[in-house]
Amino acid sequence: MISETLAASLTATAAEQEPSHQRRFEHLYRSSRDDLYAYLATLLGDESTAEDITALAFERAYRRRRLFNPRRGSERAWLFGIARNAALDELRRRKRSPALSGEQAHLAADGADTAEATVLRATVRAAMATLAPRERELIALKFHGGLTNHEIARVLGVSHSNAGTLLHRTITKLREACDERA
């Protein structure tokens, strides 16, 4: 009798948890879709591949959504970690060199800006191209993925202070590169 009650309770709990998992995943998807794509597009330098890897990352995250452990970081960090692994596997497979993505689209958009803004943007883009891949990834996680420093640390597997130091060093390097080109 007790076991039947316990089994029924567990079944009911599992049934209640599934919509909760689903809702949380949908919220994660809505809040992270564009950020994740932006990060992957910057990392991979290919919009088409970025779309594929974004979809693959969400697919994997959906399959593993019950395995997510909140004590090990935020859901966004967990999702970006999955996406990063998929993207690096893709880089391993294709051996392709990433470059800043959407360059043509940005150049076209620059036409609407002032000449000064266009020059500034081109300068920043050129400065970013001088960064090492790891530094570009940091920029992508922070400025395009919109992750906090805690989340970046979690994705890269480093400490929070180390993530902040790396980020500041990269920004300083980028500023110096911009100053040289200005």
Partner 1 sequence: MSGRRGRRTDIDVTRELEVIDRALCGEPTGAEHAPLVELTVEIRELRPEPSEAFQAKLDARLERGFARRAPARRRLGLQPAIVAASIVALAAAVALPFTLGGGRHVPARRGGGAASQFSSARAPYANGAAQSAPSAAPAIPAPLTQSSSQPAAPGGARQVERSASLDVGVSPASINATAQRVFTLAGSFHGYVQQSTVSSGQGEQGGASFDLRVPSVKLSGLISALADLGRVRSETNTTNDITDELDGTRRALTDAQAERASLLVQLKRAVDYRQAQALAARLHAAEARISNLQASLRALTGRVTYTEVALSLTPENEKKPAAVLSPGGALDQAGEILTTALAVLVLVGSAVLPIAALVAAIAASLAFTRRRARERALDAS
Q: Which residues are at the interface with partner 1 (CB under 8 A)?
A: 26, 29, 33-34, 37-38, 41-42, 47, 50-52, 54-56, 58-59, 62-63, 85, 88-89, 91-92, 95-98, 100-102, 106, 120-121, 124-125, 128, 132-134, 137, 139, 142-144, 146, 148-149, 164-165, 167-168, 171, 174-175, 178
Shortest separation between residue 55's beta carbon and partner 1, angstroms: 6
Is 2 or 67 the residue whose CB approaches partner 1 more closely? 67
For residues 83-104, one letter each, b for 16 or more C-beta atoms within 10 angstroms of the residue's C-beta and e for the rest, the string is bbebbeebbeeeeeebeebeee
Shortest separation between residue 66's beta carbon and partner 1, angstroms: 13
Distance between CA atoms of residues 146 and 68, nearest Å: 20
Is 5 or 114 the residue whose CB approaches partner 1 more closely? 114
Cα-atom radius of gyration of the chain, to the nearest Å?
Answer: 20
Is 12 or 117 the residue whose CB approaches partner 1 more closely? 117
Is 6 or 27 the residue whose CB approaches partner 1 more closely? 27
Shortest separation between residue 130's beta carbon and partner 1, angstroms: 14
Give which of 31, 109, 121 is closest to 77, Cα–Cα.
31
131: left (phi over 0), alpha (psi -120 to 50) or beta: beta
Is 6 or 132 the residue whose CB approaches partner 1 more closely? 132
Shortest separation between residue 7's beta carbon and partner 1, angstroms: 27
For residue 92, the one-letter residue type is R
Shortest separation between residue 147's beta carbon and partner 1, angstroms: 10
CA distances from 160 to 36, 73, 155, 157 (A): 21, 12, 11, 9
Task: Say which residues have a Cβ less than 8 Å from residue 76's Cβ, sequence separation at least 6.
Answer: 28, 31, 32, 35, 147, 151
